[in-house]
Each structure stands twice: as structure tokens, then as C-alpha cells.
Structure 1
Amino acid sequence: MAENTAISWATHTFNPWMGCTKVSPACDGCYAEALMDKRYGKVQWGPHGERVRTAPANWKQPIKWNRQAEHDGTRPFVFCASLADVFDNQVPAEWRRDLFDLIRATPNLVWLLLTKRPQNIVKMVKFVGFMPSNIAFGTTIEDRQRLESNLPALIVAGGLRPLFLFASCEPLLGDLGDLSPWMTGDSHPQRLAEGETFEKGFKITADGWPTLPAVGWWITGGETDQGGHRARPTHPDWFRAIRDQALAHGLAYHHKQNGEWSPLQANDGEWPTDEGSFIRLNDMGDRADDGWPMQKVGKKFTGRLLDGVTHDAFPEVNHG
């Protein structure tokens, strides 16, 4: 449940508990469900399943990582949680407080709390009663609808003064459009989620509006097959749009993988119809007769390179 991870944007993964409920299209091909529920039967997924806390020995692993990081003078990034969601409503609040105690006790680690429920962050941190200084908040943005619902809530959570905010655009299922308001901190308060309030931590400008934080780290990735779920395609232009905007604003950009699909090139032969391993894709991620032809070739073939470049950037954090 705790390990050195193969995930390119983290050093370790830590799972304080297991289990979750699907809440968005990004969850359709959940690898954690395919692995821990369907394959190993360790936990039942969904609203009627129990959340299973991991063993005490697992909870000691971050202490070891922290001690090694202090010795090495490094700040390892810890993805929490790959088999759950820290801000899941069905998780006992006491478990979350225990997790925050552990985070506070490991100051040399950078804890990446990635959630599909950013609307819960502020209220759940308030219940914990304190905010460790070595937390970064992130949310999953797979399409424009989730951009408009999740990023405003993430921005509000920025008032808790995390190390940084980040967006995981994996699996990316459509073109996200103009991201500059979120990359510059110019997202207007009126765009924030209805009913949200500004928490202590925002600076107020002369005109009475809060100064909003930017989302400083952008991660992209295509979907892979998981169990019985067949991966949906991502056109590389969608990755490029995020990459180009992030780099133009001087932000860290990290591309994890291209997924199972690749654009079908003119020299690949006659473009087949929308059948089998070929589809035509529009910029909203839907199949369309006049869309881009895509071919399923497998993740080993598509790899991680985007236009021949490996993008492995991480946000800078203080090592002092």
C-alpha cells in the first residue's frame, strides 16, 4: 500500500485506506477498482462498499521516507491516495485526522492530495483542525465540464495556503480550451462555484475582490485499458494545448503518457470507418464522422514522448 512508485510525477505512493465511489467520467476506467476490487477482491467499490484502512506497518513507511529525505536533503513527492480519495465523504473523519497528523510529522515530504472532490477540501480540513504546511492540493480535470466544476473549488482551497495547486488532466477526454485564467490567478471570483465563500488566507484587493492563486502544475495523460474497460482516445493536440499554455506562463508541465491511441496518419493507408480499433474523434472527445481518425496501437507503442520530448517538470519547493 506504500511504495516507490512507477508513476512519473511522484516519488512514492501512500494509501492510508482503500476504496472509493465513482463520481465522474474519469472514474469509468478506474485502475484502483480494477486492481483491488475486481482482481484481488480486497475492497468493494461504490457507495455501499466499506473503506478499508491499511495496516499500521504501512503507516510507518512515510516516517522512513521522511528520515531518508532529511538525510539526503531532498523533498520527495508522495501521491496520496492512489487507491482512494482523501476527501471521500464515506471515509471516517478520524482517519483523515490521523493522516494529517502523519503529514505534519513528515515535513520533508511533499504530500500530493489529488481528489475528484475538491468541493470537500475546505470543510474537511476545517474538521481536522489544522493545515500541514507540506500539502499540495490537486484535482482531476478530464473535460470542460469538470474544469468548470472542479477548478473553482480548487482555487478556493488555495486559501488554506498549500505549497501549490495542481491539475491532473488524466485521462484527458477532450480539449480544455483557454486555461489562462487558471494559470495566472486571474480567475474572476464570479466564476467560482456557486455558494462558495472565500476563506481566510486570500489577500483582498482595493476593489474588494480576493487575490486568487494560480494552478501551478499541470499533468496530462491518456487513458489505458483497465480490466473490462477499454481506453478512450486522447488526441495529442489536446495535450499540446495544455503544454503550450503552461510553458507560455512559466508553469511546470508534466506529461505522463499518451495512452492506447494514436492519430492515424495519411501514410498509414486508407482510413477505415468508425469500427473496431479505429474511430473518428472531435474536440469534445465524441465520435464524429468528420472527426480526426484515431488508431488503437497500445500504450507501449505510444509511450510518453510528446512531439519527441519527455516533459518531466515538477514545481519548485523549498529544500530548506
Structure 2
Amino acid sequence: MADTTGIEWTDSTWNPVTGCTKISDGCTHCYAATFAERWRGIPGHHFEAGFDIILRPERLRLPMTWTKPRRIFLDSMSDLFHQDIPDTYIAQVFAIMALTPRHTYQVLTKRHARMKALLSRATFWHDVAQQGREHFARCQEDWLAAGAMLGGKPLPNVWLGVSVEDQKWADIRIPALLGTPAAVRFLSCEPLLGPVNLKRAVITMGSERGHGLTASYVHAAGCCESGLHGIDWVIAGGESGPGARPMHPQWARHLRDQCTWAGVPFFLKQWGEHAPEDHGHDRGAITLIDTQGRTWNGREALAPPDAVRMRRVGKKAAGRLLDGASYDAAPAAR
């Protein structure tokens, strides 16, 4: 939790919960788990319990103290829709977001099914209203304003996103995201571990325009103007830290090109520990990787034509340029 953050696509982080459990390949080298587990068993330390799920109710009101509007990444050290977090507590988090419309909240999850089920229930929004009135509204006028935001529609200041590390999880999580009421929907393709065809994932909703399979689907403003119906933003990035896996340049290019075709903002966050050798890197250990994610170290003669040489140069040296350009596009606050 921080007033400022090194995460390039947000302004601040807010962690009313800490801790999580690994659920898919993208979690293998989780930076948050690695950081928290360093302190397990140290009496009095904030992460004395390591990366176990812990509710932090003392932090719930923090965004109310931030007077200047900002983009806030929710639960950078957890997953709000983890099965061990009570519905009532999630309702309190949403009540705070309703009461602070000046901020834009970016909520990212790998628990797509629970997010969709919970946010599609009318009873959940009744719980949000109840928790807001009982615990956080400082006066009747505050809650009337927040109630107007609720109004049977998704909160306009809350962006919902899912993690998409490869095609398998794109095909599972993207349709669930598209079926979840949201003002803005985004994808975090980080760590990107394989090629992702976004249009294929959207088509699983029932048609090429993404309509048809879920009665709970709620259209975002202007969603039908995009070729990636309902997806408003795509973030991509490679993996960093010990054991980091390289991101093939063609995976990043393919995402960029799909977003360009569809008119969807694209943000390249980082290469991670590895960078393409042809981007000017001539030092660091080499990994030869093809577009399917297979490595060919020591078998260069057998590698397919799409294999590229990636150098492990470190996150800072690798940077975030793709073919000499930076990609920093993001949706406007609503």
C-alpha cells in the first residue's frame, strides 16, 4: 500500500487485504508472495504470517483521505475475489469505492468466476449499500451521492480486469470478464507466457461481436465500437525476478497489433528480466525461445525459424521499448 508506486499504469496502491494462493501458471513466480514470505515468522512484522490471507480493515478508509483524484490499483498484494475473503468484506471495499467517485479504481483478479457471480447478484449491491450506510458515510449527503452512483449500473469509477498469461486462460477468463457488469474492462497479460488471440476469446461469448451467451451481460459505453467487444484496455509485460521466463517479442507485437486494429489502448509495461538480442543487447545469458514458448538452448540447429535469442539483462536494462517505441495508452477516467 503506497501513496506512490513503481507500477507504471497506476498512481497508488491500496491493500485492504493481503495474501493469496497460487492458481495458475502466471502465479509461479509471484512477486508479492516472494516478498511477503521473506518475513514469515518474524514477530511484529507486517508480514509475520507470510502470504496468508489477512483482512486489513484499518486500511479501508485510506482512499477517503486522498483528496486529489488518482488511479488506484486495488490489492496489489492479494486478490479481492479470493475464496477466503467474505462477501461482506468485499461489499465494504465496494462501498468505499462508491463513496470516493473522484478516484479511479483498477481491480485485477484471477478469480474470474467469483467476480462474475458476485457482481451480477442484486443482493450484493444491497450489501454494498448497507455496509456504506452503516460504516463509512459521514453524512446523509455522502451516501445519497454514492447511492446515485450505484443506481443499478456498474460503478463508473471501477475498472475490472483479469490476468491473461496465455491462450488457455484467455479463453476462460475473458468471457467471464465480458459477462461481468463493468464500466471499463481490462486485461493484464503479465507475465505473458505464450501467444494470445484476443478475438478468439471474445468469439467464445457467442458471436464475433461478443453478444449472446449471458443474460447478465451489461454493455459498457461505446463497447460495440471496438473490434474486441467489451475490452477497453490491454496491458502486456514480461516476467521479472528469480526464475523469470522470457517473453517472445512476437507475442507482444501480436497483442499490440490486435489492439491497433480494434482501437483499444495498449500499454507495454516491461520486458522483465529478458530482452530480445536484436534490441541492442549483447550481454547476459542467452535463452533461445520460439513463439510457442519452447526453449532450444543447446539445440540451436533444431530450433524453428521463429525462435529468437533473448538475453537476461535485468528488468531495468531490458526497459519497455518494443521495436524502438514505447506504448503507454490507457482509457480516460469516466
Which residue is 1:169 aligned to?
189
Question: Is 1:316 equivalent to 2:312 in the alignment?
Answer: no
Task: Map residues 167-246 of structure 1 onto 2, 5 A cutoff.
Answer: 167-176=187-196, 178-180=197-199, 188-189=205-206, 197-199=214-216, 201=218, 213-225=229-241, 229-246=242-259
Structure 2 residue 292 is the aligned partner of structure 1 residue 284: yes
Relative to structure 1, the CA distance from residue 277 to residue 135 in structure 2 (aligned partners, 3 Å threshold; closer, same or farther) is: same
- TM-score, scaled to structure 1: 0.80
Please, which of 277, 295, 299 is the counterpart of residue 315 of structure 2? Answer: 299
Distance in 1 between residues matched to 2:23 and 2:118, nearest whole Å: 18
**How many angstroms apart in 2 are the aligned matches of 1:279 and 1:296?**
8
Query: Partner amino acid for 2:171?
Result: E
In structure 1, stretches of 5+ residues that fail to align are 70-75, 204-211
* Identity score, percent: 31
Q: Which residue of 2 aligns with 1:6?
A: 6
Conservation of the 8 A alpha-carbon contact between 1:163 and 1:317: no
The aligned residue for residue 61 of structure 1 is: 62
Instruction: Report the residue type matching 2:156 in the other structure.
Output: S
Displacement of 1:172 after TM fit? 0.5
Aligned-residue offset at 1:10 = 0.6
CA distance in 2, matches of 1:99, 1:55: 9
Cα distance in 1 between the residues matched to 2:317 and 2:40: 28
1:142-176 deviation per Cα after TM superposition (whole angstroms, max 9, x unaligned): 1111111111111111xx1x221100000001111
Q: Which amino acid aligns with 2:4?
A: N
**Secondary structure in 2 aligned to 1:313?**
coil
Bigger mean CA deviation after superposition, 36-45 or 241-250 = 36-45
Q: Is the 8 A contact 1:252 1:314 kept in 2?
A: yes
1:190 is displaced (CA, Å) by 7.0
Structure 2: state its 5+ residue gaps: 42-46, 127-153, 221-227
| CA distance in structure 2 between the aligned counterparts of 1:189 and 1:28, rounded to whole angstroms | 32
The whole-number CA distance in structure 1 between the counterparts of 2:207 and 2:14 is 36
Change over 3 Å in CA distance of 1:296–1:97 after alignment to 2? same
- Alpha-carbon distance, 1:234 to partner: 0.5
- Quickly say closer, same or farther: Cα 1:89–1:266, change in 2 above 3 A: closer
Counterparts of 2:328 and 2:7, CA distance in 1 = 11
SS of match in other structure, 1:107: coil
Aligned to 1:113: 107
- Amino acid corresponding to residue 32 of structure 1 in structure 2: A
1:240 aligns to what SS in structure 2?
helix
Question: What one-letter code is carried by the residue in structure 2 that aligns with 1:59?
Answer: L
Partner residue of 1:128?
124
Map Cα deviations across residues 91-142 of structure 1 (whole Å, 9 max, x no partner). Answer: 1222111101111111111111100111111222225225533211100111
Q: Distance in 1 between matches of 2:247 and 2:79?
A: 24
- One-letter code aligned to 1:129: W
Q: How does 1:84-99 map to 2 (within 5 A)?
A: 84-99=78-93
C-alpha distance in 1, partners of 2:231/2:257?
Answer: 15
Alignment match, 2:223: none
Amino acid at match of 2:311: Q
Q: Deviations over 1:32-57 (max 9, x none)?
A: 11112234651343xxx4x212252x
CA distance in 2, matches of 1:202, 1:300: 39
Residue 257 of structure 2 is aligned to residue 261 of structure 1: no
267 and 23 in structure 1: CA distance in 2 versus 1, 3 angstrom threshold = closer
1:209 counterpart residue number = none
What amino acid does structure 2 have at the position aligned with 1:153? A
Q: What's the RMSD between the two structures over aligned residues?
A: 2.9
Deviations 1:264-317 (A, max 9, x none): 349988x9xxxx932221212122340322221111111112222221111023
Change (3 A) 1:181 1:108: farther
Amino acid across the alignment from 1:121 = M
Q: CA deviation at 1:11?
A: 1.1
Distance (Å, rounded) in 2 between the aligned partners of 1:267 and 1:201: 46
Answer yes or no: is the 8 Å Cα contact 2:161–2:186 preserved in 1.
yes
CA distance in 1, matches of 2:24, 2:174: 14
The higher relative CO (CA closer than 8 Å, separation ≥ 6) is in 1
Task: Indicate the SS of the match to 2:3.
Answer: strand
SS at match of 2:179: helix
